[in-house]
Structure 1
Amino acid sequence: MATVKALLYIHQPLQSGEYPIYLRVTKDRKSRYVSLGFSCKKELWDEANNLPKKRHPLYKEITIAIEKAKLEANREILNLHNDDQDFSTEELKNNLLADKRKSKLTLFEYSDNYVQQLKANDKIGSANIYHSTKKSIMDFRNGRDMEFSDVTHSFLKKFEEYHLKRGMKPNAFFVYFRHFKTLLNHAKKEGFVKNEYNPFKDIDFKKYRRIKTKKRALKIEEMDKIKALVLSPTSKLFHAHNYFLFSYYCWGINFVDIAHLRWTDIQNDRLKYIRKKTGDEFDILLNPWVVQMLTYYREHYFIREDAFIFPILSDFHQTPVQIDNRIDKVLKQVNHDLKEIAKLVGIDEHLTTYSARHTFATTLYRKEVPTARIKEMMGHESERVTEIYLQSFDTETLSNIANSVL
């Protein structure tokens, strides 16, 4: 006889510190697991009753989901026995997933659930993008929900035409379009739509990939102006200037990673940290200017060794949402200040924190550092990504290179 039990799967911890909740079906000493789409911290799980404790904020929702899943599993087992079918745990699992597919979850409901899963795993940035993607679909649909079957090739073309005609930049729309496709692929993997479902089959993405973003890398003389600028600590531009140069000197480190740096990441004039986006580890020998700058922050902002280096995050920011909102707020202010700095030194470029990252990569390329090495220093997944960064090479530089060779 097959048995059904809900459990906290402690062998698979999530980034949030919680563990996924599974339904385990066992027969002939073989078990299979079906995800219930919820997670729970170990201290909030009642092992005796295999339920979340009553003080869990989602106690009712999770308890109802568990009881419903157990009821459906036992009903399926009973049906198989009544039909005199000998079945394996794998077959039972597939049948339960098939029932899950038949639940007719709408596109917006599935999107909301997926966003919540990302937030539970502390992937707030990704969650925000998928939320914005859903909003772009809602705008097109005037807020009306839809089934997965409503997403056809014709729908996608009209969705594209709607936003581009209303002035949305192609690069911005491509972000939504790409994430919309990824969302549907996730739904396919989880069994909410059939394997042959592919409304994006004849959609051409190449035209978006050919679009070159506006040049963000500074020329050498422009970067020299930024380096030479001296600002008083009382200037409202002081921190923005420091963050920009810190990124440039520290291999194009992202602003998100700068915000998360702690004093424990500095060891013997080396910066050792793990990039949030990719999980890559970096070990960087600090430039003398950076060492001097950190001396200032240690003298004026140091609290304790495990505290944040820069006055971006503090102990007040505890939850992923608080952290993400704070970083977003400071980043907007920093980019605004960088515009002022650009005007101050006479640079016409649209200066942002990302300009430092692009300038770092382009400067290396100008010094004939191989693309493969730049890829490693930037933490890119492939050389193709690095090449996109280097597309901003200005025509004047290219002409000089050609003239020096010919």
Structure 2
Amino acid sequence: EHRLRYAGMFEVSYSSFIKFNKHLDIPFSDIDVAWLKRYEKWMKEQNLSVSTISTRIRHLRAVFNLAITEHSIKSDCYPFHSYKVSKLNKQTAKRALNKQDILKVMQYKGTSPMECLAIDIFIFSYLNAGINFIDIAKLKYSNIIENHLTYNREKTKKLISIPLQAEAMEIIAKYKNMKSPYLFPVLSPFHKTEIQIANRLHKVLAKVNKHLKEIGEKLELPIPLTTYVARHSYATVLKRAGVSTAIISESLGHSSEKITQVYLDSFDNEQISNAMKNLL
């Protein structure tokens, strides 16, 4: 599927399984609830974050799901009926800021071009339904249609259409470059192959998050500032403003809330536009 970063994450998980178990020359049935609990405990002893532990185990679950789909194993040796990955997610540290802290970030004046870019990407994400960094980096002028930002989310391929607010348009205008089709100076026509694009995105995201973390420390924010905090904050601010969870899910383009998504497609842009008036 050419999801190079995603594939890379699976390679990291694979190495982790090998390091823990010494080899993977074992039947699926050996990976039971007890095995998973030992693996979870081992990862905690490595001082890995809850989100990393959750990701590794979800990758293992994905392999089990594929094995069942391909009839390589029977569902009776599926350990994830009893071992719930969701319990790990509940332990994840808070990733959202309140509106007051968001405004602090928006009012911060960057002291270098990279710091300014980091702030602008964070604000642009917050103002545009928590659009993630990879989707921001790949946005082109052709994604602006009738004052809406319209794009297919990289992760889920879901079509997203968000009304562009004046503050977001100002950020776009700031980075306008006639030599590049991209809205932001992350990718350029130089980056042609999937590998070049993936490497560039990885490098710039690391820089952006490094600057955001430093800015967050200067502003004495309660949590480390990253691009992902913008997405969580967008959803949390709207939720606290009384906006329907269903409309928030629609604007975020979630695929994990599959049951909700069955009836979310009926929400139109006007409802999302009205909901987003609560952001500022």
Alignment partner, residue 186 of structure 1: 66
Among candidates 102, 105, 108, match of residue 229 of structure 1: 108
Distance 1:242 1:199, change over 3 A: same
Shift of 1:167: 2.9
Within 5 Å, which residues of 2 pair with 1:53-72? none
| Cα root mean square deviation, aligned | 2.6
Shift of 1:206: 5.8
Distance 1:156 1:296, change over 3 A: closer
Distance 1:322 1:218, change over 3 A: same
Return the letter of the residue paired with 1:303.
Answer: K
Task: Measure, in 2, the Cα distance between the counterparts of 1:139 and 1:385.
Answer: 38
Task: Measure, in 2, the Cα distance between the counterparts of 1:183 and 1:318.
Answer: 31
Distance 1:210 1:231, change over 3 A: closer
Q: 1:338-358 CA deviation, whole Å, 9 max, x = no partner?
A: 122223334242110011111
Using the size of structure 1 for normalisation, the TM-score is: 0.58
Alignment partner, residue 138 of structure 2: 260
The structure with the greater share of residues assigned to helix is 2
Alignment partner, residue 133 of structure 1: 13
Q: 1:327-383 CA deviation, whole Å, 9 max, x = no partner?
A: 111111101111222233342421100111111111111211111111111112328
Among candidates 213, 216, 230, match of residue 356 of structure 1: 230
Shift of 1:149: 5.1
Distance 1:213 1:202, change over 3 A: closer
Among candidates 355, 365, 380, match of residue 254 of structure 2: 380
Alignment partner, residue 87 of structure 2: 208
Return the letter of the residue paired with 1:297.
Answer: Y
Alignment partner, residue 159 of structure 1: 39
Return the letter of the residue paired with 1:219.
Answer: N
Question: Is residue 217 of structure 2 the alignment partner of residue 343 of structure 1?
Answer: yes
Question: Is residue 74 of structure 2 the alignment partner of residue 195 of structure 1?
Answer: yes
Within 5 Å, which residues of 2 pair with 1:7-406? 121-142=1-22, 144-148=23-27, 151-153=30-32, 154-191=34-71, 193-196=72-75, 198-200=77-79, 203-205=82-84, 208-209=87-88, 211-231=90-110, 234-298=112-176, 301-304=177-180, 307-381=181-255, 382=257
Q: Which runs of 4+ in 1 moved over 4 A?
A: 383-386
Task: Measure, in 2, the Cα distance between the counterparts of 1:219 and 1:383.
Answer: 27
Return the letter of the residue paired with 1:122.
Answer: H
Using the size of structure 2 for normalisation, the TM-score is: 0.82
The structure with the greater share of residues assigned to strand is 1
Give the unaligned 5+ runs of structure 2. Answer: 262-280
Distance 1:372 1:295, change over 3 A: same
Task: Measure, in 2, the Cα distance between the counterparts of 1:372 and 1:285.
Answer: 18
Distance 1:316 1:205, change over 3 A: same
Shift of 1:135: 0.7
Give the unaligned 5+ runs of structure 1. Answer: 1-120, 387-406
Distance 1:217 1:385, change over 3 A: farther
Mapped contact 1:218–1:359 kept (Cα < 8 A): yes
Task: Measure, in 2, the Cα distance between the counterparts of 1:206 and 1:178.
Answer: 7
| Higher mean C-alpha deviation, range 365-374 or range 340-349 | 340-349
Which one has more relative contact order, counting CA pairs under 8 Å at least 6 apart? 2
Mapped contact 2:50–2:92 kept (Cα < 8 A): no
Shift of 1:280: 1.7
Task: Measure, in 2, the Cα distance between the counterparts of 1:275 and 1:231.
Answer: 29
Mapped contact 1:174–1:208 kept (Cα < 8 A): no
Task: Measure, in 2, the Cα distance between the counterparts of 1:194 and 1:168.
Answer: 30
Shift of 1:229: 2.2
Mapped contact 2:50–2:88 kept (Cα < 8 A): no
Shift of 1:186: 1.2
Distance 1:237 1:282, change over 3 A: same
Mapped contact 2:28–2:77 kept (Cα < 8 A): no
Return the letter of the residue paired with 2:185.
Answer: P
Task: Measure, in 2, the Cα distance between the counterparts of 1:242 and 1:353.
Answer: 10
